[in-house]
A and B are shown apart, each in its own frame.
Chain A
Amino acid sequence: MPPRMLPEPTPETRHFWDGCRDGELRLQRCTACAESYFPPRPFCPKCGSRDVEVYKASGTGVLWSYVINQRPRPDMGTEPYAIAVVKLAEGPTMMTNIVDCPQTPEALQLDMPLKVAFAKQSDEITLPLFAPAGA
């Protein structure tokens, strides 16, 4: 199996990937208008202010939508897998995979509570996957 396709952090996103490596899901919020946002950027996409801060998010959310890919990408193994979007408790949505859960429509119910489950891929990169909150 080829190695999994991994992100290459940029200066603007480094804090997010460093956070995942250190076991923290980090979001940003605007200190002017209080908007939480994702993906990372050094200004608020709502009001344009550069006065923003990084903070540790709760790591919780709900399953917002997904598909189950029946034709796995070669670096993702051989079994069908869900490509999901989680709606974080803080508001933003984020693409992810769901772990510790059968990859079936019956098991994957929209709005089920999820919590972040960090999955180390390399010394630099840990991916923020999500698991059912009760698991």
Chain B
Amino acid sequence: MKPKSVAVVGAAETTKMGKIPDVSVIGLHADAALNAMADAGLKPSDIDGVATAGISPVELAHYLGITPTYADGTSVGGCSFMLHVRHAAAAINAGLATTILITHGESGRSRVGSSGFGRAPSSLMGQFEMPYGVAGPPTMFTIPVLRYLKTYGLKPEDMAPVATIQREWAAKNPRASFKDPLSVDDVMNADMIAWPFTKLMCCLVTDGGGALILTSAERAKDFPQKPVYVLGTGESVETPMVSQMEDFTSSKAFRVSGKKAFETAGIGHADIDHLMIYDAFAHLPLYGLEDLGFCKPGEAAGFIRERNTAPPKDGKGGGRLPLNTNGGGLSYMHSGMYGMYALQESVRQMRGIAPAQVDGAKISVCHGVGGMFAASGTIIFSNDAP
């Protein structure tokens, strides 16, 4: 993909977020889509490409009255939307469609019109993981971390500053689910969910959605919002079973996806002003910072503790790498497939309208995970016109 050949011209989240018991899953997709279309000044008849995960792109297109010439149902978990952006950029460049809508909606908390967790007992996960009592992401995503901690001489409490510093960002965000300050002790003394993970090291469970609209950079100039250009992209997948990760201290999918995104963008780490790393659990920003090359292996916990990713506090300036500035999945919201909200925050930062705006930010990296280290997608955005 040629950098900056495609731009985001519409971006919005659902009207409400948090607890929305009166809207079903497909209703959340539609609410976000209508908000994104309003943001871009478009009608359903202007959209000729659709992409979504969780529901089928067929359901989405029909429900919204869209007749697409491009449909992408890539569904690899919470980073599916990063992959949708990447595929949409390629599709627009190839002339498969001109205006592509990507949606997410999930009734994670209220469970209105949503399906449950589990795999067929004949699937690989059904045969080789489900019999041992795994009970959803808190007991699966977390499994590699003791090996990571032992390898680098770290302790569970070294993960706590991820949660406390993201709570500082959340405090600046009126839409964040949790805004009260947190201490390391609060994190460590919270209910134990799956040792060594306490409740405050695990993401929220909420309802919500979001949508993006992409078009060519050439057309993007004529839209009402400041265009946010796609500078580089990457994706990869590793394994459907966390027990089969090649290396418990590092995600191969993260490394491959991140490297590809930086290569296609033609930039280095010093060029990055803003970073989003999908944080379903407190260890993910540690793996993300290291696997994307911002920190050496084992050094991410110290990097966060030393406030390199933190907002300004007590008269001291913020860190040099603002991370998860919406509060993240730990404090902002997490409906199940959080990648869409990370993308929304990157777009807000590039438009210059984020509640905790990073002054002068020009390049944002948005890195997602799918499943339990199963998949990854990385999008690098820029607000500098080509």
Contacts and interface: CB of A to CB of B under 8 A. Distances in A.
Contacts of B194: 67-71, 83
Given A39-B244, A85-B143, A105-B196, A71 B127 contact: no
Contact of B133 (A17, A81, A111): A81
B224 interface: no
A64 B126 CA distance: 21
Contacts of A70: 191-195
B205 interface: no
A9 interface: yes
Q: Which of A4, A17, A71, A75 has the most CB of B within 10 A?
A: A71
Interface string A11-29: 0010001000000000000
A65 B197 CA distance: 13
Nearest to A72: B133
A95 B243 contact: yes
Nearest to B244: A93
Interface stretch (B14-22, B102-110, B144-152, B250-258): B144-152
Contacts of A83: 132-134, 139-140, 143, 194
A101 interface: no
State the majority secondary structure of interface residues on B: mixed
Given A70-B195, A93-B244, A39 B124 contact: yes
Contacts of B64: none
B121 A7 contact: yes
A16 B157 CA distance: 40
A64 B147 contact: yes
A73 interface: yes
Contacts of A93: 243-245
Contact of A67 (B128, B150, B197): B197
Contacts of B133: 69, 72-73, 75-76, 81, 83, 97
Contact of A7 (B126, B143, B191): B126
A111 B147 CA distance: 9
B136 to A, nearest CB: 9
B294 interface: no
Nearest to A65: B147
Interface string B106-141: 000000000000001110101111111111000110
Nearest to B135: A73
Q: Which of B243, B244, B248 has the most CB of A within 10 A?
A: B243
B90 interface: no
Contacts of B150: 110-111
B243 A68 contact: no
A6 interface: yes
A5 interface: yes
A123 interface: no
B127 to A, nearest CB: 4
Q: Which of B124, B128, B131 has the most CB of A within 10 A?
A: B131
* 6 pairs of A and B residues whose beta carbons are closest in the complex: A7-B127, A68-B195, A95-B243, A8-B121, A8-B122, A67-B194
Given A67-B143, A76-B133, 15 more contacts: A5-B131, A6-B131, A8-B122, A8-B127, A9-B127, A39-B124, A67-B146, A68-B195, A70-B193, A70-B194, A71-B135, A72-B135, A83-B140, A83-B194, A105-B196
Interface of A: 4-10, 13, 17, 38-39, 64-73, 75-76, 80-81, 83-85, 93-97, 105, 110-111, 127
Interface of B: 120-122, 124, 126-135, 139-140, 142-147, 150, 191-197, 241, 243-245, 248
21 contacts: A5-B130, A6-B131, A7-B121, A7-B131, A38-B128, A38-B244, A65-B147, A67-B139, A67-B194, A70-B192, A73-B135, A83-B139, A83-B140, A85-B143, A93-B243, A93-B245, A95-B132, A95-B134, A95-B241, A97-B132, A110-B147
